[in-house]
């Protein structure tokens, strides 16, 4: 944790003397906490699980009872190393430290964290744009319990009483501290999306922001564009989705620019993002490291992972999102880079490659994933997706029908042919369709002769009639073709 000694200098003024309007640059650095996907807690054998009745996943260590001793979870260390390697960090010997503060959700009155010797340091993450964002450190620590203030709208000072649930106390966390290299709300959003994809890819976390397994603290400052000094920052808590992250950064940057342009300083603070009013609110003045009275945890040995173990973990790392984007782009050369990124972000690149490998038209596969599978793939398999695309290619399903079949496949699984049949979308035989078209021509001689004389508007009329008669089962393109053949070579 390097403290930046330019931070507390007086409010910046720009060095332009002609009173030109100042262009401001936003500077963002994120601290992301991710719950590690272990079976058990960081220092005890209680389950690491979301939900559950309050205070059921507990034990003397999670409750901080006197005389209980922590035992380090090897799996948590392995996951932390995977994250460190995926973020291009140096893995180094580390020491656990006690971070002292008093709060009821932390029964020991200290949190075991890592301080001046964290396990992972000096890495970087590459955004899909190719920009590299520095990673200062990624260290292990334990999570706290959860306090619920009852009454008074959930705020402590108006609550009638408070309840504490220790199920989360001692859950392993990795805290990933990024350098202040991000320059816009959109870049901050991309950084968290990429980090989440990496955490999910290496199996370190489920990445669910809505369940709190991924939490983002967002440091924002502004400075005149071109300046190489850092502005005074505020740290924003309670940002619970990528959407609120973007909104919170934009609001906070605006607030700071308004202060500075009216000659008032930005005060370094911890602020709270309020989803309801779309603003940040002052929470407290920022605490300093010395407030926490850090000292080495005497109940745990320093951690010095065997380099051979680290090497094995490195060799066994799965392909990372960046590699997967490259592979997918190769399989779908015509696809838009944003669609490729979205497919990987949704972890559906495996599904896409499977379907393409099974012979499906690549562009159609990506279109379905981007436009029709935003809610996840559910019970859909890559074979089923390939089958569905093949039916579309063969003109057996219209785009609307394919979308309906897809949503059933996601919900219930099964094969596209069966689902299409059960929805009444079975393919119409060509014979059946031709008989129908001939019948329509015979029954509508006026329309037919106008069509034959070149009034192409009547195509719509005939296609509409076929659709009505088949309740949408026919393929519009095939009907148009049949009509045109008959115009050139009229039925006898």
> Residues in the site for ligand ADP, rule: CB under 6 A?
1-4, 7, 27-31, 177-180, 219-221, 230-231, 233, 289
- The Cα 117–Cα 95 span in angstroms is 6
Place of tokens 């870049």: 187
Minimum Å gap between C-beta 216 and ligand ADP is 10
Extract the tokens encoding 449. 């002769």
Taking each helix axis from N to C terminus, what angle separates 185-201 and 74-86, rounded to the nearest 10 degrees? Answer: 130
HEC assignment per residue over 5-69:
CCCCCCCCCCCCCCCCCCCEEEEEEEEEEEECCCCECCCCCCECCCCCCCCCCCCCCCCCCCCCC
CB-nearer residue toward ligand ADP: 265 or 359:
265
Sheet holding 90-91, edge to edge: 90-91, 120-126, 132-142, 172-178, 24-35, 214-224, 234-239, 269-274, 279-285
Q: Is 301 helix (H, G, I), strand (E, B) or coil?
A: coil
User: Smallest distance, Å, CB 345 to ligand ADP?
Assistant: 22
Q: From CA 492, how far away is CA 480, in angstroms rounded?
A: 19
> Residue 474 carries which DSSP code?
S
Helix, strand, or coil (residue 222): strand
Give min distance, CB of 133 to ligand ADP, in A: 9
Name the minimum Å distance from CB 92 to ligand ADP.
17
Q: What distance in Å separates the CA atoms of residue 38 and residue 83, rounded to the nearest whole number? A: 14
Q: DSSP alpha helices (H): ranges in 31-177?
A: 74-86
Question: Beta strand pairing status for 132-142 and 172-178?
Answer: antiparallel
Angle at 242 between CA 241 and CA 245, to 5 degrees: 90
- Specify the DSSP class assigned to residue 376: -
- How far CA 262 is from CA of 12, 13, 231, 256, in Å, comes to 12, 11, 16, 10
Min separation Cβ 1 and ligand ADP, Å: 4
Phi, psi values for residue 21, rounded to 5°: -65, 140
Q: Please identify, using beta-carbon distances, which residue of 13 and 456 lies nearer to ligand ADP.
A: 13
Indicate the residue among 58 and 133 with the shorter CB distance to ligand ADP: 133
Give the separation between CA 59 and CA 57, rounded to whole angstroms.
7
**Residue closer to ligand ADP, measured from CB, 224 or 472:** 224
Residue nearest to ligand ADP (CB): 29
Closer to ligand ADP at the Cβ: 233 or 368? 233
Closest CA to 405 of 394, 386, 418: 418
Q: Of the two residues 28 and 91, which places its CB atom closer to ligand ADP in the complex?
A: 28
Helix (H, G, I), strand (E, B) or coil at 259: helix
What's the closest the beta carbon of residue 172 comes to ligand ADP, in angstroms?
20
Query: What one-character DSSP code corresponds to residue 117?
Result: S
Question: Closest approach of Cβ 218 to ligand ADP, in Å?
Answer: 8
CB of 77 to ligand ADP, least distance (A): 22
Nearest Cα to Cα of residue 459 among 485, 428, 425: 485
Smallest distance from ligand ADP to CB 153, Å: 29
180 token code pair: 């202040």
Residue 285 or 422 having the CB closest to ligand ADP: 285
What are the beta bridge partners of residue 99? 111
Looking at the Cβ atoms of 199 and 440, the one nearer to ligand ADP is 199
Pick between residue 2 and residue 228 the one whose CB is nearest to ligand ADP.
Answer: 2
Q: Which of 222, 221, 177 is nearest to 195 (CA)?
A: 177
Would you say 9 or 211 has its CB closer to ligand ADP? 9
For the bound state, the minimum distance from the C-beta of residue 178 to ligand ADP, rounded and expressed in Å, comes to 5
Cβ-based nearer residue to ligand ADP, 235 or 475: 235
What's 372's DSSP letter?
I
User: Which of 29/305 has CB closer to ligand ADP?
Assistant: 29
Cβ contact 377:348 at 8 Å = yes
Of the pair 169, 177, the CB lying nearest ligand ADP is at 177
Provide the minimum distance between the beta carbon of 182 and ligand ADP in the complex, in angstroms, as a whole number: 8
Least separation in angstroms between residue 141's CB and ligand ADP is 13
CB 201, min distance to ligand ADP, A: 22
């Amino acid at each position: 944790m390097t403290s930046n000694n330019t931070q507390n200098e007086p409010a910046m003024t720009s060095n332009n003397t002609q009173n030109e309007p100042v262009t401001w640059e936003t500077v963002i650095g994120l601290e992301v906490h991710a719950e590690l996907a272990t079976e058990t807690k960081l220092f005890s054998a209680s389950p690491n699980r979301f939900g559950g009745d309050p205070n059921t996943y507990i034990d003397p260590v999670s409750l901080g009872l006197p005389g209980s001793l922590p035992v380090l979870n090897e799996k948590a260390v392995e996951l932390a190393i995977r994250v460190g390697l995926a973020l291009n960090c140096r893995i180094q010997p580390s020491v656990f430290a006690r971070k002292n503060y008093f709060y009821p959700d932390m029964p020991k009155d200290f949190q075991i964290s890592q301080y001046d010797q964290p396990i992972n340091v000096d890495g970087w993450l590459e955004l899909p744009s190719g920009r590299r964002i520095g990673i200062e450190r990624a260290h292990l620590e334990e999570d706290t319990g959860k306090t619920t203030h009852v009454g008074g709208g959930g705020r402590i000072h108006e609550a009638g009483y408070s309840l504490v649930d220790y199920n989360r106390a001692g859950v392993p966390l990795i805290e990933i501290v990024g350098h202040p290299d991000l320059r816009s709300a959109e870049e901050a959003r991309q950084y968290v999306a990429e980090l989440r994809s990496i955490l999910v890819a290496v199996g370190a976390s489920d990445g669910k922001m809505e369940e709190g397994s991924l939490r983002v603290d967002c440091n924002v400052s502004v400075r005149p564009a071109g300046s190489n000094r850092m502005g005074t920052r505020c740290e924003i808590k309670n940002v619970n989705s990528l959407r609120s992250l973007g909104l919170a950064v934009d609001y906070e940057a605006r607030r700071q620019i308004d202060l500075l342009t009216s000659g008032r300083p930005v005060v370094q603070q911890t602020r709270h993002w309020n989803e309801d009013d779309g603003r940040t609110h002052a929470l407290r003045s920022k605490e300093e490291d010395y407030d926490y009275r850090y000292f080495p945890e005497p109940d745990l040995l320093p951690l010095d992972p065997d380099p051979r173990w680290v090497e094995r973990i490195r060799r066994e790392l799965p392909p990372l999102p960046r590699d997967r984007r490259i592979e997918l782009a190769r399989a779908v050369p015509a696809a838009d880079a944003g669609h490729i990124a979205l497919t990987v972000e949704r972890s559906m690149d495996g599904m896409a490659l499977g379907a393409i490998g099974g012979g499906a038209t690549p562009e159609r596969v990506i279109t379905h994933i981007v436009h029709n599978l935003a809610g996840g793939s559910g019970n859909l398999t890559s074979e089923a997706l390939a089958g569905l695309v093949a039916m579309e290619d063969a003109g057996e399903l219209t785009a609307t029908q394919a979308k309906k079949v897809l949503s059933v496949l996601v919900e219930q699984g099964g094969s596209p042919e069966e689902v299409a049949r059960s929805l009444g979308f079975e393919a119409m035989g060509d014979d059946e369709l031709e008989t129908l078209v001939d019948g329509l021509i015979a029954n509508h001689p006026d329309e037919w002769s106008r069509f034959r004389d070149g009034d192409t508007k009547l195509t719509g009329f005939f296609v509409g009639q076929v659709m009505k008669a088949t309740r949408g089962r026919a393929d519009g393109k095939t009907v148009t073709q049949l009509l045109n053949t008959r115009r050139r070579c009229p039925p006898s």
